[in-house]
Amino acid sequence: MKFNKIYNVLAATGVIFTVLTSTSALADDQDYTFGFSTVPDVTLTPVTDLNFGGQLGLSGGSQCTMTVGDGGTDTPGSINAKVGTASAEAIGANYAELTGVGCGAAAVGTDGIVGVYEIVGAPGVKVDVTLTSQLSGTNFNFVPNGVTVLHNDESDGDTLVALAAGSAATAQLATVDDLSGNTEGSGVPEIGKSLIFVGGTITVTSTLLAGTEYTETFGIDVVYQ
């Protein structure tokens, strides 16, 4: 019995060896393809151009500020910002308001036009948003500030994030899960998108001419994290 057991094992081993030996003579080598897709480029599109209106003061050194903030009286509001949240906010009473002697007496307390810009990219990704000041303008300098939207990939959790010139802040692009289950009165997110709202402060650097339109540039940098 002991011999038979040993023999059976050896016989089995012999069969395995024979199979391996025979298959090695029929070996094959194939190349197989594989692939992947990169995330789409993140893009930035103007929705509304920033405009301080037609009543700015003329004297050098005067300042005018357009108010934009991430909550309270300065907020663009949940619907405007397309924010899904359990604490929906209306447009703040001071949102877009012009303040400062450089705004001109007729313009103080009125509203300018806040700059609105749309980020488009891969749903759910986070991006760094940085506002860049114009500190060497021909006729005036501009230091921007504002807010962007951090969607959270689920219902009722989107937030506004404050933006200060020169400092990166995080926005997140909406996913399908941001669209459902939000409290009534919330905004409606759009998949693969987020928004930026920009106000800020103009400082006049030369004596301006009455009845003349002036423009300058500022930067918005948006980069995938």
- Return per-residue pLDDT of the chain as tens, 225 residues: 222 323 233 333 344 444 444 455 567 777 786 766 666 788 999 999 999 887 777 788 889 999 999 989 999 999 999 998 888 899 999 999 999 888 877 677 789 999 999 999 999 999 999 999 988 888 889 999 999 999 999 888 899 999 999 999 999 999 999 988 788 778 899 999 999 999 999 998 888 888 888 888 899 999 998
Token pair 């199979």 in the structure block, residue: 19
pLDDT of residue 8: 31
The per-residue pLDDT for 106 is: 67
Domain assignment present for 14 = no
Query: Is residue 155 a contact partner of residue 89, using CB atoms and an 8 Å limit?
Result: no
Q: Which of 113, 114, 74 is nearest to 90 (CA)?
A: 74
How confident is the model at residue 15, as a pLDDT? Answer: 42
**34: in domain:** no
* Domain contains 211: yes
Tally the domains of the chain.
Answer: 1
In a domain, 19, yes or no: no
Which domain covers residue 68, as residue numbers?
43-224
CA 60 to chain CA mean position, Å = 35
Distance in angstroms (rounded) separating the CA atoms of residues 100 and 62: 8
> Is 134 inside any structural domain?
yes
In a domain, 59, yes or no: yes
Q: Count H helices and E strands in the chain, helices first.
A: 2, 10
Judge whether 172 and 153 are in contact, CB under 8 Å. yes
Q: Is residue 216 part of a domain?
A: yes
Asked if residues 195 and 13 have their Cβ atoms less than 8 Å apart, the reply is no
Per-residue DSSP letter, 71: S
Q: Which of 49, 43, 55, 91 is nearest to 194 (CA)?
A: 43
* Within a domain: 153: yes
pTM score, two decimals? 0.82
